[in-house]
Structure 1
Amino acid sequence: MKLRALGLLLGSVLVTPVYAAQLEGGTWLCHRPDTPDNMRETTSYQFMPDGTIHSEEWLRRSENNQVQLEFKLAVEYSFFHNGLDFVLKPVHLSRNIMVDINNVNPFDSDARRDLLGYRIFFQPQFESDNRAAFIMRHHITPDQRFTLNCSRRT
């Protein structure tokens, strides 16, 4: 039994660099398949060899052909594997609100603090070298997974 457990542990350690190598190179452009019709959203992830990830999320929500909210959120993450999932931990963020006609203020001081305190766990499922589904969950809602359909851009 101990040998089997050791084998599983070593197997997960050996697989990690392979997945990390598959993620590196170029930028992954991702879309949520369940995005509502009145919302446009893209997220890009650039996996760096030093164990960091640069991401940029763009979101635009409209109603009655008028933009209600539009912003960009750029986050730099540290990136590591915890034995089961890859983990993204925010270390720096910047945001730019272009339109906020209802004064939603998605990045007030409480939200900003929460952004720096969260973790994202994800498991990539590769369809090919250039296409993958990122199965993701936040640490505060671990049972609520979401999928990003991603393609590598070079």
Structure 2
Amino acid sequence: MKLKLIGLLMGSMFAAPTFATQLEGGTWFCERPDTPENMRENTSYTFLPDGTIHSEEWLRQSENNQVQLEFKLAVDYSFYHNGIDYVLKPVQLTRDLVVDKNNVNPFDSDARRDLLGYRIFFQPQFESDNRAEFVMRHHITPDQRFTLNCLRQT
């Protein structure tokens, strides 16, 4: 049992640099396939040579052809492999609330604190050099995975 566990850990450690190499080199533009019809959102991830990631998320929710909520969120992450998953840890964020007609206030002080404290675990699944699915989960809800369909932008 102990040897099997060591083999699994060693195998995942060797796989990590391969995925890291595939992720490098540009920006990945991602969309969720399960986004509701009244919502538009996308996220881009730029994997930088220093081991950090810069992301930019845009979301717009409409109702009766009127925008109810729109925001932009930029997050810089530290990026590492924990032996099983890649881990993104927020280190800096900026936000821009464009429209908030229903006073949802997605960036109140509690949400901001929680945003800086969370971790995202993800496992990239490559279809080609320029196409991948990022299977992701937050540390708060580890059993609830979501998928982003991503294309590398050159």
Q: CA RMSD in A?
A: 1.0
Deviations 1:45-85 (A, max 9, x none): 00112110000000000000000000000000000001110
- Output the CA distance in 2 between the equivalents of 1:57 and 1:71: 8
Which residue number corresponds to residue 33 of structure 2? 33
Which residue number corresponds to residue 152 of structure 2? 152
Which residue number corresponds to residue 104 of structure 2? 104
Deviation of residue 3 (structure 1)?
Answer: 4.3
Which residue number corresponds to residue 12 of structure 2? 12
- Output the CA distance in 2 between the equivalents of 1:6 and 1:36: 43
SS in 2 for 1:29: strand
Deviation of residue 9 (structure 1)?
Answer: 2.3
- Output the CA distance in 2 between the equivalents of 1:10 and 1:49: 24
Aligned residues: 154
Q: Match of 2:75, as an amino acid?
A: V
Identity level (%): 79
Q: Match of 1:31, as an amino acid?
A: E
Which residue number corresponds to residue 56 of structure 2? 56
Q: Match of 1:93, as an amino acid?
A: L
Deviation of residue 103 (structure 1)?
Answer: 1.3
Q: Match of 1:53, as an amino acid?
A: I
Structure 1 residues 133-142 or 11-20, which shifts more?
11-20
Unaligned 5+ residue runs, structure 2? none
Deviation of residue 111 (structure 1)?
Answer: 0.3
Q: Match of 1:126, as an amino acid?
A: F
Which residue number corresponds to residue 69 of structure 1? 69
Deviation of residue 6 (structure 1)?
Answer: 3.2
Which residue number corresponds to residue 139 of structure 2? 139
Deviation of residue 101 (structure 1)?
Answer: 1.1
- Output the CA distance in 1 between the equivalents of 2:129 and 2:147: 18
Which residue number corresponds to residue 113 of structure 2? 113
Q: TM-score normalized by structure 2? A: 0.97
Q: Match of 2:91, as an amino acid?
A: V
Unaligned 5+ residue runs, structure 1? none
Deviation of residue 130 (structure 1)?
Answer: 0.3
Which residue number corresponds to residue 43 of structure 1? 43
- Output the CA distance in 1 between the equivalents of 2:135 and 2:86: 10
Deviation of residue 110 (structure 1)?
Answer: 0.4
- Output the CA distance in 1 between the equivalents of 2:140 and 2:2: 33
